[in-house]
Amino acid sequence: MRIGMILDKEFPTDPRVEREATTLSEAGHEVILFNVSFGSNRDLGIFDYSNFKVYHVNVPKFVFKWSALIFKVPVYNYFILAKIRQFIDEVKPDILHVHDMVISWPTLKLAKELNLKTVVDLHENRPVIMREYGGFKNPIKRWLIGLKKWDFFQNEIIKQADEVIVVTELAKKAISVDIKNPEAIHVVPNTLNPEDVLNSPLDQQITDRFKGKFNLFYFGDTGLRRGTDLIIYSLPRLVKIIPNIHLIMVGNSSEDVKLRKLAKKLKVASYISFEGYQGIQKFRSYGAAADVCLSPLTRNKHHDTTYANKLFQYMAIEKAQVVSNCTAQKDLMEKSGAGLVFNARSTKEFIDCVERLFLYPSLAKELGQNGRAYLEKYNWKNQSENLLEIYSDRTSK
């Protein structure tokens, strides 16, 4: 089967998309991945990538800014639809596999016009997450964007797609739309294979920088909704308990300025390394320096029903985790025994968990080993079966 994958950003940036495309290609399907650069001068056209193909297009940078108004002012639709239509004309896919909500809506309309079947892959609950973005806290911006419309159209997307993919059983249960065929909702977890992380080269210069310290490691988007400020709020107390403590924060967001100001205000800036964005190939090197890995997400409907990639990346490097009690990651810790759980936004409980792992290194080692053992059983190779079944069922029809 020829699968036209649709992604609304530049590739490679999303490990889930790459894993899915690779898995489907290895199963004998022909995958061509449509992806977009906003305001880039990258070469256009079809290129070989691993064992699938990438179809790259450029659109003006201002189009991205209009994507937030997609359900009010269709500027984004106009530019993107023209590119997707060209992609379909050239590639002639048998089915479209669309990643995430924004690009799904215009793609579904086009697919219906062209009588093409669709698989919508919802990595997250976008309307819920948008309510947490710092830039959308402003009431005027919320009104302009029309977040209630986002709720409505996410439900419409779920109803109109032929198949829908979500990342956890909790996300599946949270779908409130009246689905004609519940079997059309599939769970494809966000897990990975250990070698995805461990095959990256180890950069000794990175690990040497953090020797002799008790290192807390955070990887990924550093937005406040991820609980990153809670770590910094906890440092003044942790410094008194663990004098050589150090926070390695790898990632970025538009709220980094707030984090840096908070660190200075609390006089803990010298205990933090703000490393900024680093490619996934650097994860193993930073992780090798870590004593404890962190995922202190704040609670909301999205965080309660999905897994962060970092949870499985931490498992791959066999390190103990301290995570907040968002339902999905709490359940994962209970199943895997990979880490300690604290109530989200509780600095006291977070500090207690970190202190416990500092005082009992044998416990930290045990938790890390538990996580790695869990990943050996529940990794992408066996968890991707649901993805393959979607296409094997359609091939057999």
SS (H, E, C) 153-195: HHHHHHHHCCEEEECCHHHHHHCCCCCCCHHHEEECCCCCCHH
Question: How many independent structural domains does the chain possess?
Answer: 2
The reported pLDDT for the residue numbered 396 is 57
Give the pLDDT mean for 270-276.
98
Assess whether pLDDT exceeds 70 at residue 15: yes
Q: Are the C-beta atoms of 338 and 292 separated by less than 8 Å?
A: no
Assess whether pLDDT exceeds 90 at residue 223: yes
Interatomic CA distance for residues 149 and 57, integer angstroms? 28
Interatomic CA distance for residues 82 and 79, integer angstroms? 6
Lowest mean pLDDT among 96-100, 186-190, 390-394: 390-394
Query: Cβ–Cβ contacts within 10 Å for residue 190, how many?
Result: 20
| Residue with tokens 């897990």, as numbered in its chain | 191
Q: Are the C-beta atoms of 118 and 96 separated by less than 8 Å?
A: yes
Assess whether pLDDT exceeds 80 at residue 395: no
Interatomic CA distance for residues 379 and 382, integer angstroms? 6
Residues 343, 204, single domain; the answer is yes
The reported pLDDT for the residue numbered 129 is 81
Residues 173, 238, single domain; the answer is no
Residues 239, 133, single domain; the answer is no
What are 106-140's pLDDT values in tens digits? 999 999 999 999 999 999 888 888 777 766 667 77
What are 317-355's pLDDT values in tens digits? 999 999 999 999 999 999 999 999 999 999 999 999 999
The reported pLDDT for the residue numbered 135 is 63
- Which domain, by its residues, includes 175? 2-190+380-396
Residues 175, 215, single domain; the answer is no
Query: Cβ–Cβ contacts within 10 Å for residue 59, how many?
Result: 17
Residues 139, 278, single domain; the answer is no
Return the SS3 of 273. strand
Contacts of 221 (CB under 8 A, 6+ apart): 251, 252, 253
| Residue with tokens 């056209």, as numbered in its chain | 45
Residues 29, 177, single domain; the answer is yes
What are 44-88's pLDDT values in tens digits? 889 999 899 999 999 999 888 888 888 888 888 889 999 999 999
Residues 275, 307, single domain; the answer is yes
The reported pLDDT for the residue numbered 134 is 63
Predicted confidence band at 182 (pLDDT cuts at 50, 70, 90)? confident
Residues 93, 240, single domain; the answer is no
Cα torsion angle, 323, 328, 331, 333, sign: negative
Residues 384, 341, single domain; the answer is no
Residues 123, 235, single domain; the answer is no
Residues 90, 202, single domain; the answer is no
Segment 77-82 long-range contacts (CB within 8 Å, at least 24 positions apart): 77/105, 77/106, 80/8, 80/36, 80/106, 81/106, 81/109, 81/110
Strands 95-99 and 117-121: parallel
Please give the span between the terminal C-alpha atoms of the chain, in angstroms, as a whole number: 12
Assess whether pLDDT exceeds 60 at residue 172: yes
Tokens found for residue 138: 């402003």
Q: What is the largest CA-CA distance in the chain?
A: 65
* CA 113 distance to own-chain centroid: 31
Which CATH number is 64's domain given? Answer: 3.40.50.2000
Residues 129, 244, single domain; the answer is no
Total-model pTM: 0.89
